[in-house]
Amino acid sequence: MSAYIIRRVWQMVPTLLGVVLLIFFLFNWIGGDPAYVLAGKISNPEQIENIRRQLGVDQPYWKQLLIFLQQILTGDFGASWSTNEKVSQIFLTRLGPSLTVLVPILVLETLIAIVIALGVAYVRGSLTDRLVMVACTVGMSISLLVYIIVGQYVFAYKLGWFPVQGWGESVSENLFVYAALPVLLGLLVGIAPNTRLYRTFILDEINQDYVRTARAKGVSENRTMLVHVLRNALIPIITNVMAYLPGLLVGAFLLERFFSIPGIGREVILAVERSDFPVIKAVTIYVAMATMVINLLADLMYKAVDPRVVLK
């Protein structure tokens, strides 16, 4: 196990290096000159050159690459070009609100989708199964933007059950007051596709030989579904859940924008609009690193769920 972990960590180095070179190439050759954006429409060549010198983009590319590598190794990506706020401080202050919304959505939609998928798989082929699948298809066909607009108008503006927008200082207040409606809307969007997907995983296991053997031995249907089928279906479910985890670092763009949540998602949108490259590059690197680490954790979780899995 330890040898496998060391080998996987060592393999992350060239992968991360490739990501770094790709990001550097995109931002320096394709991204354009940020000095023109920051200088505004009314500017002269002297002002643009002064801005380029302050940003450090007037230096040779090899030197800019070394600075970028140093920033990654130290975790210090400098300051935002637009607000002059340190990038590390931006992440420290914006990550909390994003996690307050996204973690409950991820946990609740996973648990609820598994329960519903088990239920419809238990009565597979029945009218209930068909109705649930039709409802999931309809739910998947509706955009998150529609849910947000209707949810804000009905539940917040008309009924007054939730605040339309805002964010407070208390974690409990944010979680149960300001984040309640965004979490609810996120669940409505995420449960439908996950239910259909998890139902497929469970149905694939139901038709396996070990399930028929368990039934032939007289094992009850409830125990067969919960102990045998669900445990084996957890491996693809874990893969699906772990694929969502890196997205926690970039927040939920639409939810944060419409509900005025000061999270990473809204900050990323503002950084793109302002051509704030330090923030965008930091987000990209963090997501890449999180993806590699989470993939490793997913492999280790496979082994914990199913001891038959061999890590090589």
CATH number at residue 242: 1.10.3720.10
Tell me: do 152 and 298 sit in the same domain: yes
Task: Determine the Cα–Cα distance for residues 43 and 57; give it in Å rounded to an integer.
Answer: 18
- What tens digit of pLDDT does each residue of 235-267 get? 888 888 888 777 776 667 788 888 888 888 888
- What tens digit of pLDDT does each residue of 151-207 get? 888 888 888 888 888 787 888 888 888 888 999 988 888 888 889 888 888 888 887
Q: Quick check: is 311 in a domain?
A: no
Q: Quick check: is 124 in a domain?
A: yes
Among the three residues 19, 52, 74, which one is the final residue of a domain in this structure? 74
Tell me: do 203 and 228 sit in the same domain: yes
DSSP codes, 183-248 = HHHHHHHHHHHHHHHHHHHHHHHHTSHHHHHHHHTT--HHHIIIIIIHHHHHHHHHHHHHHHGGGG
**Nearest by Cα to 258 from 142, 139, 138, 157:** 157
Tell me: do 70 and 93 sit in the same domain: no
Among the three residues 74, 107, 127, which one is the final residue of a domain in this structure? 74
Tell me: do 93 and 217 sit in the same domain: yes
Determine the pLDDT at residue 112: 92
> Which of 28-37, 47-56, 295-304 has the least mean pLDDT?
28-37
* Average pLDDT value for the chain: 80
- Is the pLDDT higher at 73 or at 44? 73
Q: Quick check: is 10 in a domain?
A: yes
Among the three residues 74, 97, 122, which one is the final residue of a domain in this structure? 74
Q: In the beta sheet, which residues pair with residue 129?
A: none
Q: Quick check: is 120 in a domain?
A: yes
Tell me: do 201 and 252 sit in the same domain: yes
Tell me: do 182 and 154 sit in the same domain: yes
In the chain, the number of structural domains is 2
Q: At 57, is the pLDDT very low, low, confident or very high (cuts 50, 70, 90)?
A: low
- What tens digit of pLDDT does each residue of 100-118 get? 888 898 889 889 999 898 8
Find the domain containing 210 and state its range.
Answer: 87-305
State mean pLDDT over 206-213.
Answer: 78
Tell me: do 125 and 52 sit in the same domain: no
Q: Quick check: is 79 in a domain?
A: no
pTM for this predicted structure = 0.78
- What tens digit of pLDDT does each residue of 270-279 get? 887 777 788 8
Tell me: do 42 and 160 sit in the same domain: no
Q: Quick check: is 183 in a domain?
A: yes
Tell me: do 12 and 92 sit in the same domain: no
Tell me: do 191 and 226 sit in the same domain: yes
Q: How far is CA 14 from the centre of its chain?
A: 24
Q: Quick check: is 312 in a domain?
A: no
Task: Determine the Cα–Cα distance for residues 263 and 258; give it in Å rounded to an integer.
Answer: 12
Q: Quick check: is 80 in a domain?
A: no
